[in-house]
Amino acid sequence: MLRRRLFVLGAVVVIAAAALTAYSWWSRDTGGYRVRLVMPSAAGLVGGAPVRANGTDVGQIQSIEAKDNQAVITVSIDAAHAPLHTGTTAWVETRSVLGERNIEVKPGPAANPAVPDGGLVEARPQVNVEDVLEVLDPQTRSHVDSVVKQLDQTLKGREPDLNATIKTAGPTVQALGQVLGAIGHDGPAIHELVGKLSDLTKVLAQRQDKLRNTVGNLAVLAGRAAGQQEDLANALSALPATLQDAKAGLDKMPGAADAAKPLLDDLRPAADKLPSVAGNLGPLLQDLRPTIADLRPTLDAASTLLNYTPGLLDSVHNTAPGLNTAVQGLAPTLRYLRPYTPELAGFLANWGSVFADYDSTGHYINGLVVASPTSVNGLPVHSLPGFTRQIAPVPGEAGGQPWSDANGEGMR
């Protein structure tokens, strides 16, 4: 508690010293345009505090006096903003939560008469915290008192830290004041911006279905982009192996080039002879021109033939499956008739021998050849080694398929 009282006493001493300094400075400076403000209270105001108009410093407080239970505040106005005109009003304004206060002036119309030097300017009453607390009911005041006591308990013993915080927060509060001042200057622009933003929001609300579809399509696009990004990542992951293979191939290229160099050296004489060979080919190509001209009708005819070739190929293609089927169907019959080929050949030979003695004019001639007793033909067939004689062989017996009729019976 003692520390708290010392803190309050120090604050009072500082305020008193500041007031004395301002009074001494005012007593030394007696020039300039001044006006006086009469207010019920000047609590929180000190000499040298700024006087502002429309967010701009236009002067400062010169002195504060008490007269007839009211505060008479003398302020000086800069020459650039002097004089003030009738209809000007002034009030006390708090600039920050720390309690810094200044005089705010709203100049009267320029057409009104000027306020003389040292004249009075209408001042609005100052609203203090005490006045606000007196308006509150007892229950609310008790709650406020409880909050103040809790704040006192919280700050007890931490006054130096609070002072350091206040000193550190000074530039921040000043910067915040500048930001708020800029917002005040740009109020119409901000109002217009907010209005346009409201109109834009209304338009978006009217077109929320299209906006929803656009967002959905954007989500699909983002999904596809993510998939492509994954594919790209896979491709990039495979890129090192590809680069290594390419490096291995490039490493082999010098050896291949070295091996190809002797081949190119060997080909150089032949390449040197190519111009003369090309020169010798010139007359031959000129002699080929008539032949090529004669080939043009043949090529035209071939072109005409090629126009019919697709249809012919289509016809052959359509006929080939049926022909193939017919051949496949004849295969069993041909397979069955194959063992009887010797008999068929013998039949044709015997049939030919019957008419062999007739010439083209129908005359018959037959010669008899008599062999000697020593001829091989005179020997009996069965007497030759490895030969057997069968007077009436069964058809198909030579091919291992004896004849049988529909009933499965043999020759009769």
**Could you tell me whether strands 89-94 and 33-39 are parallel, antiparallel, or unpaired per DSSP bridges?**
unpaired
Strands 101-106 and 50-53: parallel
Question: In the numeric block, which tokens belong to residue 254?
Answer: 């010098």
Question: pLDDT digit of tens for each residue in the chain (412 aa)?
Answer: 545 555 545 554 445 444 444 444 444 444 579 999 888 877 778 888 899 998 889 999 999 988 888 889 999 999 988 899 999 998 888 765 556 788 899 999 989 999 999 888 888 776 665 566 666 678 887 877 787 788 778 877 777 877 778 777 767 767 777 776 776 667 677 777 778 888 888 887 888 888 888 888 888 888 888 888 888 888 888 888 888 888 888 888 788 888 888 888 888 888 887 888 778 777 877 777 788 777 788 888 888 888 888 777 777 777 777 777 887 787 777 777 777 777 777 777 777 776 666 666 666 666 555 544 444 455 555 555 666 666 667 777 766 777 665 566 665 6
Contacts of 15 (CB under 8 A, 6+ apart): 46
Distances (CA, A) of 136 to 94, 130, 149, 221: 21, 10, 18, 61
Is residue 63 within 8 Å of 23, Cβ to Cβ?
A: yes
- 83 with 105: CB under 8 angstroms? no
Residue 56 lies in a domain: yes
Identify the H or E element spanning 120.
strand 119-123
Instruction: Determine, yes or no, domain membership for 36.
Output: yes
Q: Is there a contact between 75 and 37 (Cβ–Cβ < 8 Å)?
A: yes
Domain that holds residue 16: 2-126
Q: How far apart are CA 133 and CA 145, in angstroms?
A: 10
Whether 87 is in a domain gets the answer: yes
- Is 89 contained in some domain? yes
Alpha helices in 338-409 (DSSP H): 341-354
pLDDT of res. 13: 46
224 is a domain residue? no
Whether the Cβ atoms of residue 155 and residue 161 lie closer than 8 Å to each other = no
Q: How far apart are CA 383 and CA 356, in angstroms?
A: 31
Cα angle: 183, vertex 189, 191; to 5 degrees = 85
Residues 6+ apart with CB under 8 A from 340: 395, 396, 399, 401, 403
The residues facing 60 across adjacent strands are 50, 76
Q: Has residue 210 been placed in a domain?
A: no
Q: Into how many domains does the chain fold? A: 1
Whats the size of the chain, residue-wise? Answer: 412
For residue 34, give both structure tokens: 């001044």
Q: Alpha-carbon distance 368 to 356, whole Å?
A: 14
Task: Give the closest residue to 45 by CA, choosing from 1, 100, 87, 7.
Answer: 100
Which residues, other chains included, contact 77 with Cβ-Cβ below 8 Å and sequence gap of 6+? Answer: 32, 33, 34, 35, 51, 58, 59, 83, 84
Residue 386 lies in a domain: no
Within 10 angstroms of residue 183's Cβ, the number of other Cβ atoms is 11
* Residue 80 resides in a domain: yes
